[in-house]
Structure 1
Amino acid sequence: MSCEFLLGQRHQHFPGKVLLLLIPFMFGICSSYSAHAETVEIRAAHCMPYIGEHLEFDVNWEFINAGSASMDVLPKSGGWQVNTVAKTNKALDIFRKVRDYITAEGLCVNGRMQSTLFDANLHERKYVAKKRTEFLWQENRVRHSQNKVVEDFDVPAGHLSVIDAFFAVRNLKLIPGQKLKVPVFDSRKRYEIEVTVLPEREVLTAPWGKKVECIVVRPLLKSEGIFTNKGEMTLWLSNDERHIPIKVAAKIKFGSIFAHLTSYQYTAPTKSSTIRENSK
């Protein structure tokens, strides 16, 4: 199967959203109800201990390098800002150039994560979109803007953007066999992502050259996303307090996508940039 065939599929903005597979909730997935799944309150001594991280990923379709993605977690007005960039490499730029920029912001409210902003600037060949989601948590609503169309939705405080949900899951204890549900608002929809922590552990090589034992986490998909098949996504997190994402694998309609961590840096924030607690 040629790159030209894959990249030419109608409505397949490839690999823009695929490049963001390292954030395993980027496909508008819906959770499936389980009596054994626990809806979690993301509550911890430090609700966002990842400020100061820089992560870089290579993204491959089967054996072909498709592009790269990066994430930077910065202090922002008493909370945090996560800047994510996804782009195709020079070879794929010829067929379908992708430059996607996403900003997510949030605060700690009563010890819990609270998203405040999700801003996506997507440029995938001729497809251009600017989407802005404001979490007006003190009013229990969300405002979504796209193409000059503004909509308000009733959304209780405590809901997260998909990027903040990724960090929220990393900040949990992650017990083998556990099932968790995290409330999110994404793509004009409010739902819960169900995450299963698999019982097995696997050892992978980290970008710093050492073997790392990993926890294996899988979102439970009820319906197909844009590229994914049902239940076909897996995330490997380092089995330590930071739960660093070492690898992501996902099935798409034409093969498999793999995202591998290639660089990880962490710089502890200064006291002046630490998160300040907020309350209603």
Structure 2
Amino acid sequence: MRPTLALASGILLALSSYAQDPPWLAEGEKLTYALSYFHVVAGTLELSAKPEGENLRLTMTATSTPSFSRIFSVNNRIETLLSRNPLSLLRQEATIAEGKRHYSEVLVVDRATGVATRTRDGREKGKVTVNPPVLDTLGSIFALRTLDLAPSRAFSLDVISGKEVYPLMVVVTGRQTLKVGSTKVETFVVEPRFRSGGLYKNESQLVLYVSQDPRHIPLKIVSRLPFGSLTATLVEATPSWQEVVHSKSEKQE
């Protein structure tokens, strides 16, 4: 569905206008999350970002706990290489092991020809014409953190997903206070929405609660699944997120 009238009336649409080099990235970053499903700890998610000259390397790993692996085993790793000016996909390498599904996939963007080629387990799976700047899903999660987020704003990013390039609408639907340990943290509620058939999906499959400081750290990520939801809650960050987020002390409770 299209955004509601209340949201549309205050919308700011910025086409690929994200910041180029956030200052907090200079020494790299690592975020560690506890994954829970139906309030049961199911695994660990790690997101890292590290500058490499004129490029940026993003890494995501997701691993199920030994106990949850008896039900469903997960051991995924995705590495994404982006150019930094502008943020745009150069290469993605994914190793996926989910239950009985196992494969390796590589996506390479040829900037000279504007063609992205995807191979799976060494066999070509197809080519996609791209018009940089373009991102993969992992790159889009990083890119949305560089946006000038505020309630009722929305931004459009081009994202390669599967065999096509889709517009991804990043919508800031409001604010919410999260309690992290003994600290109350003010967050923006951010919903990435893929467009299909000219319409934006009314219900997001992913909701991020990001800190309101310039780092826009995702403190909680909720992924809606056909049965329940999977929640990633930040448990550790390098450098420490407590030093930069806007929070309320216990005296303000």
Which residue number in structure 2 is paired with residue 64 of structure 1? 40
Which residue number in structure 1 is paired with residue 170 of structure 2? 195
Which residue number in structure 1 is paired with residue 91 of structure 2? 117
Runs of 5+ unmatched residues, structure 2: 241-253
Matches of 1:43 and 1:229, distance apart in 2:
24
Matches of 1:166 and 1:49, distance apart in 2:
16
Which residue number in structure 1 is paired with residue 243 of structure 2? none
Is the counterpart of residue 85 in structure 1 residue 61 in structure 2? yes
Which residue number in structure 1 is paired with residue 227 of structure 2? 254
Which residue number in structure 1 is paired with residue 120 of structure 2? 146
**Conserved? CA contact 2:18–2:143, under 8 Å:** no
Deviations 1:69-96 (A, max 9, x none): 1112123243111121101101012232
What is the aligned counterpart of 1:132 among 102, 106, 110? Answer: 106
Which residue number in structure 2 is paired with residue 22 of structure 1? none
Change (3 A) 1:186 1:221: closer
Question: Deviation of residue 205 (structure 1)?
Answer: 2.7
Matches of 1:86 and 1:165, distance apart in 2:
18
Is the counterpart of residue 97 in structure 1 residue 73 in structure 2? yes
- Normalised by the length of structure 2, the TM-score is 0.81
Which residue number in structure 2 is paired with residue 7 of structure 1? none
Is the counterpart of residue 220 in structure 1 residue 193 in structure 2? yes
- Normalised by the length of structure 1, the TM-score is 0.74
Change (3 A) 1:196 1:70: same
1:119 aligned partner, one-letter code? E
Runs of 5+ unmatched residues, structure 1: 1-30, 268-280
**Conserved? CA contact 1:32–1:222, under 8 Å:** no
2:204 aligned partner, one-letter code? G
Change (3 A) 1:41 1:221: closer
Is the counterpart of residue 182 in structure 1 residue 157 in structure 2? yes
Is the counterpart of residue 42 in structure 1 residue 42 in structure 2? no
Higher relative contact order (CA 8 A, sep 6+): 1
SS in 2 for 1:258: strand
Change (3 A) 1:55 1:118: same
* Superposition CA RMSD, Å: 2.6
**Conserved? CA contact 1:229–1:252, under 8 Å:** no
Question: Deviation of residue 183 (structure 1)?
Answer: 0.5
Which residue number in structure 2 is paired with residue 231 of structure 1? 204
Question: Deviation of residue 255 (structure 1)?
Answer: 1.4
Question: Deviation of residue 196 (structure 1)?
Answer: 1.1
**Conserved? CA contact 2:80–2:138, under 8 Å:** yes
Matches of 1:33 and 1:263, distance apart in 2:
34
What is the aligned counterpart of 1:210 among 168, 174, 183? Answer: 183
Which residue number in structure 1 is paired with residue 245 of structure 2? none
Identity %: 21
